Structure 1
Amino acid sequence: MTGTVGDRIVAERDRLGIQQGDICAWTGVSRRTQFAYEQGERFPDASYLVTLIEHGFDVPYILTGKRPPRYGAIDEDLLRAVFNAVEAALSDAGQPVNTGKKAKLVALVYQTSAENGQVDPLVVQKAVGLIGN
């Protein structure tokens, strides 16, 4: 995790080129409250965070310190897990598939898995069921 919630609010503000006063105007919080959020002395409520979302802030990053992979970026550990899960499901189903179909299957499952960073066995099972010989 990168820094505190307050550090990440500042980082997002900087990324978007937004001043503290802008956030105060949008959310209705005082400058003192905004400063307390950014210093980690207080934590914002849901309505504040929803307002930030409406203005382009990456609130999941603010809360977790993690950003989703950028388009084209590959999480090698997740890809390995997807590949292994697909291989196991194909083996269990007794379905040999050509390399092209397997690549499409792995890509489909990876895209779905990248949303939360975990391989869902049910998704793998359903995807394998879609592959016809």
Structure 2
Amino acid sequence: MIYNVKHEDTTNRKSYNCRLQLSRCEVTTSIGDRLIQIRGHRSQAAFAKQIGVHKNTLGGYERGERTPDAEFLRKLMAAGYNANWVISGEGPMRLDGLSGEGKAKIDVELDAIEERLNRIEVPVTQEQLRENPELSLLKQRITRILGNPDATGLQRARADVFLSLAFQDKDAYSRYEQRIQDVKGRLRAARRTYEDAIKAVGYEPPPILAEALKTAIFVHGLEIEGVVILLEALKQELSTTYSFSK
């Protein structure tokens, strides 16, 4: 990923353009992480039953205690998932390949649900759900999005907001709150990683580059070793343009 940034030197009345390239550090995920991503909102027991394995087997793979065997991968493929992506992270997650059009369809569905919710009185009571099949189907449409492994995290968060606000779903509210706490935790961790890297190398880049680097740490989950490499590269590549504080 490349960040294009501009630095204004007010003292010398000059401006400099530079490109901060983050290709030196690769962010990798494990096989277990990818299996968890496939499982999505579903429980281990539910997903294991769906693909035909014991939940303890799935749990062991997700925790990285062992590598999936050929039979497990065959069952994943039968369910429509790409075994090569599970093992290596390369290619699409699903065998049919999720296209931008597929994600767009989920957004269209969410927009339609939101439009419908705006025309009814919320929150919907349990009695209304029992008496009005349309409301029950509307809730099912939202729940299906949560169970769709191709839905993005943002799309699932939006679905949880609909469930918690319109249908007073406590589980959905808890998931949404957990997402907020997770983001806050990642922000704190990114800030600590940046500060530790600065201490380790003994200098700090100009503010605009510092903000770009903090964003990269948060978005890509960079570890301190990768941040140190980036800082060293910045110092070397931009030393003729920027002065770094010791």
Q: TM-score, normalised by structure 2?
A: 0.25
Judging by fraction of residues, say which structure has more strand. Answer: 2
